[in-house]
Amino acid sequence: MTATEQRFREFKMPDVGEGLTEAEILKWYVQPGDTVTDGQVICEVETAKAAVELPSPYEGVVHAVHFEEGATVDVGTSIIAVDTDPGAGPAEAPAPAAEAPAAAEEDAEPQGRQAVLVGYGAAPSSTKRRARKPQPGVPAQEPAAAAARTGLNGHAAAEAAPAPAAEAAPAASAPAAVPAAGRPLAKPPVRKLAKDLGIDLAAVTPTGPDGVITREDVHAAAAPAPAAEATAPQPAVGAVTGAATGSEAVRARETRIPVKGVRKATAQAMVNSAFTAPHVTEFITVDVTRTMKLVQGLKQDPDMAGLRVNPLLLVAKALLVAIKRNPEVNAAWDEENQEIVRKDYVNLGIAAATPRGLIVPNIKDAEAKTLPQLAAALGELVTTAREGRTAPGDMAGGTVTITNVGVFGVDTGTPILNPGESAILAFGAVKLQPWVHKGKVKPRQVTTLALSFDHRLVDGELGSKVLADIAAILEHPKRLITWA
């Protein structure tokens, strides 16, 4: 490391989760010229699991911020440069790694996982890198590369020397044969932009140096191009124009929202779960009048003072008691070893809707907690999730989950399993309904429960027993004592 590199230290995007490969910069807390200390929070980033604040590993003055807020950055890419010796006078900082991704790819292959804040980092990629750019003085393949670059910049036909007609066809097809490695040249932010816009980089004409695709090239490819109107017959022109106008009118009334961060991870997880685990959902409608009265009584209990007491708390406790009575339901499927993994602990997940999307943090060892402890854990979990402070570790290792769809006035649903879990309970809205109670029709508080489970792990009998136990406890909450 040179003296300049020792002075200007580059902080690279760390892996803030287990093996995550990218993160979006949500907010910068520092700007060039600001003084930073070791451990000071410099920015907030969002991964596929959570929003995390990144501390500076260096002390000094911020020399440069390499990405704007909202940019998605690959793990291992430099995001900020810090001058660790600002009193030494002016000096030219080395180019950040983010500005020359090609050089980083060409010079060396990754040698194992990098050090990260949390976890072990992303595994080395097995993808082949594109070949080194030809250097001056190296005649091999230089004419072809020059022709390719010229073709990619759109000047081959106009500026090339006259050639016989027989040679014109290969020259005209040169742009289609480039790049040699089969991968268009573009920096990571440009690739991200193309992905968000649904643009295939192979179909984009580059205008940057050495055939590199720029952001302007991607935007140009995304814009509608009515090029065929000039040469088409008159009837076709009207048809094309009408179709284009209609298409543009439709797009003007649409809003496209990039799928990233938590929402992207949730979508992928739900698809994987739905098409991996064979789901079965059972339903039961139950009179929870006594449970609702117990909730009101607990709110007045001195031991529950300051705690969040609501029906969800007793539903969670009922589920934990049902699992204790039917421990086989608390398991996971090991596809690789073809084994069922029975778990002697319950990490109870609570599905939480946040501005960034759905997350499922869990309460570790929930089965061992008293009712006040469970209430405190639930309150902390919900508050942390809404504030976007849920740590990646709080969302790992769940065994079963509760989703409280009743808060939206919904009777119930058919919830999809959180990946790796055996069951998920949907708690519907509690409504006053006519109900036969002690031989007479009376208004009672009633709800519908739905239990989805992995049919590889849980058969119909076991799933029915678990759901029936939950309902029995909510109908007669004294069973929380007699069955516990």
Give catalytic residue positions.
455
Q: Among candidates 73, 82, 78, 62, which has minimal Cα distance to 26?
A: 73
Per DSSP, the three-state class of 354 is: strand
For residue 362, list its beta bridge partners.
349
Residue 216's identity, in one-letter code, is E
CA distances from 480 to 115, 285, 315, 471 (A): 47, 19, 11, 12
Token pair 């969002």 is found at 46
CA distances (Å), origin 66, targets 15, 38, 82, 308, 339: 18, 19, 11, 44, 48
Closest C-alpha to 421, from 244, 297, 240, 269: 269
List the end-to-end C-alpha distance of the chain, in Å, as a whole number: 63
The encoded tokens of residue 7 equal: 């002075």
CB proximity list for 306: less than 8 A, separation 6 or greater: none
Residue owning tokens 């989950």: 401
* C-alpha distances in Å from residue 366, one per residue of 55, 149, 242, 313, 373: 32, 62, 62, 12, 9
User: Which strands form 78-83's sheet, in the order they lie side by side?
Assistant: 8-12, 78-83, 60-65, 35-36
Tokens of 44: 């907030």
Q: How far apart are CA 229 and CA 231, in angstroms?
A: 6
Q: Is the four-CA dihedral 89, 95, 97, 99 of positive or negative sign? A: positive
Beta strands in 323-378 (DSSP E): 331-334, 339-342, 348-350, 352-354, 357-359, 362-363
User: E strands, 388-483, where?
Assistant: 400-403, 423-427, 431-437, 440-454
Distance of CA 158 to the CA centre of its chain: 47
Q: Token pair 């036969």 is at which residue?
A: 436
What residues contact residue 139 under an 8 Å CB cut-off, 6+ apart?
Answer: none
